[in-house]
Chains A and B, each alone.
Chain A
Amino acid sequence: MKINVTSIKFKIFLYTLALGAVLIIYSLILYLNLHYVLFTHIDNSLLRKSEEIEDLIKSYNKNLKNERKKSSVYIKRAIMLEKNEGKNHAQFFEIDGINNSLHDKFNELEFHEDYVLVFDKSANIAAKSENIPEDIQDLLKKKIRKSYFNRIFFRSRLSNGQWFRVINRPVKLGDDYLIQVASSLEVAKFVLNRNLIVMGTAIPSILLFTILFGRFIVLRMVKPVLDIARTAGTIDSKNLNTRINNHIREDEINSLASAFNTMVSRMEESFRCMEEYSSMIAHELKVPLAIIRGELELALRKKRTPEEYNNILSVSLEETYRMNKTINELLLISELENSNNFIYKDCIDIEPFFKELIASAEIIAHEKNITLTSKIAGTENSVSGNKLYLRQLFMNLIDNSVKFTPRNGKIKISADCTGDTLFFKISDTGIGIPKENLPKIFDKFFHKNHSGESENNSAGLGLSIVKSIVNAYHGTIDVKSAPGKGSVFFVQIPLSEYAGRKISEKDKKLRSF
């Protein structure tokens, strides 16, 4: 099996290893602590016992002050008391009382599992407890060194497969003596071994369980993620209606699936919009193309008069202008939608700007004998803006009004630039807009088909461009209309004079790089 070191499964495996290491260290500390506690306990008890033996011997010795020189003999005797009992009893009769008390004391010490040995200066056994087996006696006797007579220390010794803890205690009593008390380590060893076995089986079991359970949990956790990934992998523009089944569980993965589904829904919607949009663009561009192609093919079917050729060529040429216009309008819209870097690039003097605008408006209004009146306030001001965009914005509105106003109608324009907002209002006596169409008039390609107008040549992008420009300036546009009576468009564009200029300079700097 190939191991992917970045996969979640592998990470869980690493966590399990770390857990294992922690468990082992923890168990080791427990074991060592237990070992220390047990051995300290045994050592303390050995120390206490050896002390008591020393005290015993010393106090026994004290009672024999008058025979100090023979003290060693008495010690030997004192310790070997029990063993020698009966044999030479008569010789010690004078200290019977003391003998008895010593005996009692030895009994009180309860050397059940402990073995006592007393060595003299030349490492011979001076005295020993009677329960001591031969092998232990030999073992302890074997390795007595000079240095043993100087300090108290503990050793662990092995005899016949049995461990013993031995205390070495030198006693100064005229001569040097050495007390050794050995205690069995069987219980301690048993506890420690038992502990080791428990740990040895528990740790692997815990690790095994952790790995298996962790794997199970991870697989359960990862499976829906993999499902989502698989579904996501199959989604393309053709099956955007695919959704992840997320009704099974209520957890974090479920919210991921929901978020994913919502995202796909949004994508589907925007794909649908784009499809619709591009089909509309295609339609708009195909119409002039169809005209050019049709005219040319028809022309080539037979010989024509120069006038006919002339007509065909001028129609075709006009259609190429129309295509070009549509394409430019589409590019302008996409430029306005995608960046507004240039919306404050010019300094616009209100008076000449509107003068020029009204002059153009009068030309197109004149063709339909429409009366155009205008009122401009704040003409001495200058504002920052994009001359081209703003001109296009107002011209499109004027065009629109002229287009839908019958001959001999009236159009009123008023603009106010005195404050920090530019107000523009245009009202006409045109055909008006039906109420149900009002929300749609700013849509791209909202068509003459809906307005009933059939003589114009535009792609239905004029008001959509107006909306895009107003949006670029964070302005607002409102329309009121009564079918048969006319329409009024209100435009508000925030154009702070000073802020605008600052932005304009910043803009220029930016663009000079």
Chain B
Amino acid sequence: MRILLVEDELRIASFIERGLKEQHYIVDTVNNGIEGAMLAEINPYDMLVLDVVLPGKDGISVCRELREKNINVPILMLSGKCSVKDKVGGLDAGADDYLAKPFAFEEFLARVRALLRKNQQNKTGRLKIDDLELDQMKHKVKRADKEIALANKEYALLEYLMLNADKVVTRTMIAEHVWNEDFDTFSNIYDVYIHRLRSKIDKNSSTKLIHSIRGVGYILKSGENENKCNLN
């Protein structure tokens, strides 16, 4: 899950970024509105965290502009202003949620999760394919009721594959949703991580869930019924 954070206060951006990364999210951070609008347009982010008071272009304008360009990424607006008028202004500009600073970090994370679930059919926060389970809140992964310890990136990759279960996930998609801006898309790092995931998830099981599709990418699908999309 890749999130764009647009926040000009470097220290606020810093702790939000660290907090989100701890939750296995992939975060790009910029500190002005113009850059933020540009990145949001180029990359298919799963979500935007947008400050209202920004140099260059304020959050409200960025939000309105993106919506006018039909970019429907969920937007969580952050602001030091907490009057009803400000909140209404933000939401009417096209934001999905509005959070006043200072905020409780727990609440912020919960709202991020809620917005990320927005376009999913499954809103329980738990993904399940065959005997593979992933808890999005606790960040725990189980295969046949046995807990599997995953590194940050491995978790993010598995979550992405499971959210797109039974669909082919290309390298580009992985690059866009699991790695951030700083990363070189043409490296073979994805193969390395897929290999690590396979060894942790599929190695001790008779049914293999992760499959490679040569020249295209990968697919995670149920071993019993290849056509069935079992998300619960």
Contacts and interface: CB of A to CB of B under 8 A. Distances in A.
Nearest to B22: A301
B10 A294 contact: no
Contact of B102 (A290, A301, A452): A290
A357 interface: no
A282 interface: yes
A319 B102 CA distance: 13
B106 A297 contact: yes
A450 interface: yes
Interface string B21-33: 0100000000110
B144 interface: no
B102 A286 contact: yes
Contacts, number: 73
A451 B10 CA distance: 16
Dominant secondary structure at the A interface: helix
B105 A298 contact: yes
Contacts of B54: 449
A467 B83 CA distance: 30
Interface in B54-81: 54-56, 58, 80-81
A391 interface: no
B79 to A, nearest CB: 9
B19 A290 contact: no
A181 B81 CA distance: 111
Contacts of B55: 448-454
B77 to A, nearest CB: 14
A315 interface: yes
A447 B55 CA distance: 9
Dominant secondary structure at the B interface: loop
A283 interface: yes
B9 interface: yes
B105 A287 contact: no
Nearest to A316: B11
A295 B9 CA distance: 13
B12 interface: yes
Interface string A280-322: 0011001101111111011001100000000000010001000
A449 B53 contact: yes
A279 interface: yes
A283 B11 contact: no
A294 B11 CA distance: 10
B18 interface: yes
B7 to A, nearest CB: 10
A454 B102 contact: no
B8 A449 contact: yes
Interface residues of B, number: 26
A491 B11 CA distance: 35
A286 B80 contact: yes
A211 B140 CA distance: 93
Interface residues of A, number: 27
A315 B11 contact: yes
Given A286-B101, A298-B105, A301-B22, A291 B8 contact: no
B9 A287 contact: yes
B15 A279 contact: no
Contact of A283 (B15, B81, B105): B81
B104 interface: yes
A315 B9 CA distance: 13
Contacts of A450: 55
Interface in A439-456: 447-455
A451 B56 CA distance: 9
Given A279-B81, A283-B81, A454-B31, A294 B53 contact: no
Nearest to A283: B80
B176 to A, nearest CB: 27
A279 B81 CA distance: 7
Given A449-B53, A452-B56, A290 B103 contact: yes
Contacts of A319: 11
A302 B104 CA distance: 16
Contact of B18 (A283, A289, A291, A298): A298
A290 B108 CA distance: 12
Contacts of A283: 53, 80-81
B10 A298 contact: no
A447 B19 CA distance: 28
Contacts of B22: 298, 301-302
B161 interface: no
Contact of A298 (B15, B56, B80): B15
Given A298-B19, A454-B31, A290 B101 contact: yes
Contacts of B81: 279, 283
A293 B102 contact: yes
B102 A289 contact: yes
A454 B10 contact: yes
B80 A294 contact: no
B158 interface: no
A285 to B, nearest CB: 9
Contacts of A453: 55
B220 interface: no
B129 interface: no
A461 to B, nearest CB: 16
Interface string A358-374: 00000000000000000
B184 to A, nearest CB: 27
A290 B15 CA distance: 10
B200 to A, nearest CB: 22
A297 B8 contact: no
A444 to B, nearest CB: 15
Contact of B105 (A297, A447, A452, A454): A297
B175 interface: no
Given A294-B15, A451-B55, 14 more contacts: A279-B81, A279-B83, A286-B80, A287-B9, A287-B101, A290-B80, A291-B15, A292-B102, A294-B102, A294-B103, A297-B104, A298-B18, A448-B55, A450-B55
16 contacts: A279-B81, A279-B83, A287-B12, A290-B9, A290-B12, A291-B12, A292-B102, A294-B16, A297-B105, A297-B106, A298-B22, A448-B8, A449-B8, A449-B54, A452-B32, A453-B55
Interface of A: 279, 282-283, 286-287, 289-295, 297-298, 301-302, 315, 319, 447-455
